[in-house]
Chain A
Amino acid sequence: MKKEQGIIDQVLDGGMDPEQRLALLQVIESDAELKDDYDSTARALHAVKTGERLPASASFTNDVMRRLPRAKPGLGGRIREFLFRGRVLQWNMATAAGAVMIAALAVIVALRGGEAPDSALQEGGGVIVTINLYAPDAEKVAVAGTFNKWKTDANVLRKGENGYWTISIPLQPGDYTYMFVVDGQAWVTDPNAEAYRDDGFGNKNAVLRVKT
């Protein structure tokens, strides 16, 4: 069989003069079994030559190697393998989008949680308190107090109907003091506060008690 296969290989490989090739083909034609082998080999060669060559995926070798049977590792080994084994990542859009969303969520949560840790306004989970002031002639009204470290531009009230200015602020339970800042200059005590406390400088701050 080895000898006959050698004849077939010689014919299909080419590289011989026509007379020698003719002689070998005659030998093949004379032997039915040899002819079958020759035909099947020739068809296979033709298919290889004329067929579409599909490109192998980048992970082809990796996939093949992983399909080879091997000893099943323990849990530790599997975790170690998952974490440290070299791999070729083939992302699809859904996986990539999911990963991006998780990463974005992590960044958003981290940044939101980090916003102004010492401002009660931003800590969340508090009680919504609505504060208003009747000031029909005012151009701008803000509220400054212990909840925003007396910033005069952090909490600006919105002008509503009938000259009322209003703002809703989320606050954690506790006692706060505050004053209104009208038109960026005049500090005005809330005339309807439930209590007042000296500000230490000769004025009275309104007291706001937020309870759960």
Chain B
Amino acid sequence: MTRGKDRSLLFPFLLALFLVASPVLMPQARAGEQGGQMTGARLAVEQSTLARDEKLLILTAGDRAVAAGVPQDDAAIIISRGLERGAGAGRTAAFLDRAARLREQDLPVRLVLDRIEQGLSKGVPPERIATVVERLSGNLVNARPLVQKMEKAGPAGSGSASEHAIETVARALEKSIPHDAIARIGEQVREQKGSIALFGRAVDTMTTFVGNGMAANDASRLVHTAMDRGYSERDLETMERYMVDELRQNRPVGDVVSGMETRMERGGMRGGMERQGGAGPRGPGSGGSGAGPGMGGRR
């Protein structure tokens, strides 16, 4: 370039090229990396000691899952981890097929993928993972009408919020929380013109209570009371933390339930003001000591 005019145009031209190309390049790079992960998984399959038809079974299932909308990196992880953990070709392919079928039914797949990846990582026997995943898939199918019914009658959420709500309800069903208890939360949220996120949090709180040893009817009563009183998502989280803190101090679950009811009667359990016990507030990245000797925690 010999002339100043040309040179003055060169940098804007290159900059414009860069700005235009970046948004195009980045997804391609991501896709390339994901594709790379899948390529790595393919390589692992090819180099494995599996029989040829078993290799074909896994690779075909992986392709089908990806074609159905399962993220490539999840498919790659399931394949690689399945091989590492000796899950077997049939079982690994079945995991991928399960995920693919959910996507084909337009159901959220993250919860099932997470359960498969988690189970394989933790060394859970593949048969057990398969049982859990099948039951969870059924719960996802059953959860969708509950969420759709609530959305038709009241708060509509974004696609991701709806999917999250379906997964939350599926986890509640997994803990044997009755449909009616969940449906009632939906009605309460609708009456209060609440969001689908509030619905999800309330169902999640109920599930957490049951998961920590509370009877389903007690959990339902507490959460329904909270919803009647207009508790927010943050208030519901406060209730969960209260239970965790009480259990950490070895209080019986029955005492936790009565203590929570008493505090709610007094207008408490709101906005984190009721937190008691050994562990102090530990907001993410809040610093400070989150754990005493002999205990872990977040700081």
Contacts and interface: CB of A to CB of B under 8 A. Distances in A.
A174 to B, nearest CB: 9
* Residue in A90, A98, A119, A197 with the greatest tally of chain B CB atoms within 10 Å: A197
B29 A197 contact: no
Interface in B258-287: 279, 282-285, 287
A85 to B, nearest CB: 10
Residue of A90, A201, A211 with highest tally of chain B CB at under 10 A: A201
A196 B13 CA distance: 54
Interface in B1-51: 1-3, 6-7, 9-11, 13-15, 18, 21-22, 25-34
Nearest to A200: B132
A159 B211 CA distance: 32
A91 B7 CA distance: 10
A195 B296 contact: no
A130 B298 contact: yes
Interface string A129-161: 111111100000000101001111000000000
Secondary structure type dominating chain B contacts: helix
Contacts of B240: 194-195
Which of A62, A132, A194 has the largest count of B CB atoms less than 10 A from its CB?
A194
A109 interface: yes
A149 B291 CA distance: 26
A191 B1 contact: no
B106 interface: no
Contacts of A130: 285, 287, 298-299
Interface string A100-111: 001001100111
B222 to A, nearest CB: 15
A151 B13 CA distance: 43
A12 interface: no
A149 B296 contact: no
A111 B73 CA distance: 16
Nearest to B295: A191
B18 A106 contact: yes
Contacts of B28: 110, 114
B298 A118 contact: no
Contact of A201 (B31, B77, B128): B128
Nearest to B7: A95
Contact of A195 (B29, B120, B129, B208): B208
Contacts of B299: 130-132, 166
Contacts of A204: 211
B289 to A, nearest CB: 9
A124 interface: no
B117 interface: yes
| Minimum-distance CB pairs A-B, first 10 | A114-B29, A192-B297, A133-B296, A113-B26, A150-B121, A110-B25, A114-B30, A117-B30, A129-B284, A198-B211
Interface of B: 1-3, 6-7, 9-11, 13-15, 18, 21-22, 25-34, 71, 73-74, 77, 114-115, 117-122, 124, 128-129, 132, 136, 174-175, 207-208, 211-212, 237, 240-241, 244, 248, 279, 282-285, 287, 290-291, 293-299
Given A128-B284, A134-B293, A201-B118, 18 more contacts: A89-B1, A90-B2, A91-B1, A95-B1, A95-B7, A109-B26, A113-B22, A117-B33, A118-B34, A118-B74, A149-B74, A162-B293, A191-B291, A191-B296, A193-B244, A196-B212, A203-B122, A207-B208
